[in-house]
Amino acid sequence: MSGGRLLLALAAALVLGFAAGAWYGQRAGPGGEAAMEAPAPDPTVHKPGTDRGVTSGVAPAAAGAGIGAQRARALRDPAFLQQLLQRYATAAEEDERGALLALLREVGNDDVLRSALALADSGDAEARRRGLALLDAFPLDRPEVRDTVAQGLQAERDPAVLQRYVELAAPAVMPVEDAAPLVRGLEALTAHPDPEIRGRSVVQFAQWSEPAAAEEALGRALIDDAPEVRRAAVGGIVATRVRSERLKDGLLWLASDAQAPAEDRAAAVFALQWFALDRDEYALYRQAAQSAAADDGH
């Protein structure tokens, strides 16, 4: 594969990855789970065909047990489950915390939910982050989960934690009345000063919204000063399939902008393939595609 084609392929992967990341967070209903903060593979997490489970730093009785056996014990032994929850809340080692998170997500009962909500309500940002990672195991159609996320979108001030709230506010099937607080919170965050939060909020808001509102948000994001937001807008256009002359013009502008990073120009070229182009627009598209393909680092 030539360098230019490789660049276009990487840009396509970037855009589709952004869109897929947004879709991956969607919950189909009770029991649905979005793995937006899945822990890195860890040798303490049980794998099929092995006898290894959550062993590092967890209750001594759990050592050597598979994650399935520990899940079963946690479901029938409230004291053991509380020990796991306490360990998760205080674990200093990332590997131990990740293994506990995986196990507790597997348990996923009301005790785990209550602990997640309590952590999310903590005055400590790290505790809130841990609570949200655990809350990720529960669907947004549960009122207590939905209310916590909606409140966090409005009230959270720590940027890293706010980013997690935005990620949790992934589109799901529910009555529009229940979704409204989430949509309002995301809409407000499309003007957030942090470009990472602004960009992710644009994508989530666009997927929740009617086409006209989505088009408005994506159109603004395409001409945002921050490249992260423009990149998010391209991913949002691909994810939502929203089409308009303004979005087409914005993509043509981005694809032709010599000052934009090569991967962003290539991503805009990729997104333009779903738009109807007249002869003049097609000429711009071809020129931008050739320029992006030629810009392979040489």
Structure tokens at 170: 């992934």
Residue 43, class by beta-carbon neighbours within 10 Å (0-12 exposed, 13-18 middle, 19+ buried)? exposed
pLDDT reported for residue 23: 39
CATH classification for the domain delimited by 1-32+140-298, as one of 3.40.50, 1.10.8, 1.25.10, 1.10.760: 1.25.10
pLDDT tens digits, 172-230:
999 999 999 999 999 999 999 999 999 999 999 999 999 999 999 999 999 999 999 99
pLDDT score for 65? 54
- Residue 66 has a pLDDT of 81
> What is d(CA 234, CA 250) in angstroms, rounded to the nearest whole number?
10
pLDDT in tens, 81-138: 999 999 999 999 999 999 999 999 999 999 999 999 999 999 999 999 999 999 999 9
d(CA 110, CA 121): 16
Whole-angstrom distance, CA of residue 200 vs CA of residue 33: 19
pTM for the predicted model, two decimal places: 0.77
- Count CA within 13 A, CB hemisphere, residue 72: 5
pLDDT tops 80 at residue 39? no
**Residue 47 pLDDT grade (very low, low, confident, very high; cuts 50, 70, 90):** very low
Q: What percentage of the chain exceeds 70 in pLDDT?
A: 77
- Quickly state the pLDDT bin for 55 (edges 50, 70, 90): very low
Range(s) for CATH 1.25.10 in the chain? 1-32+140-298
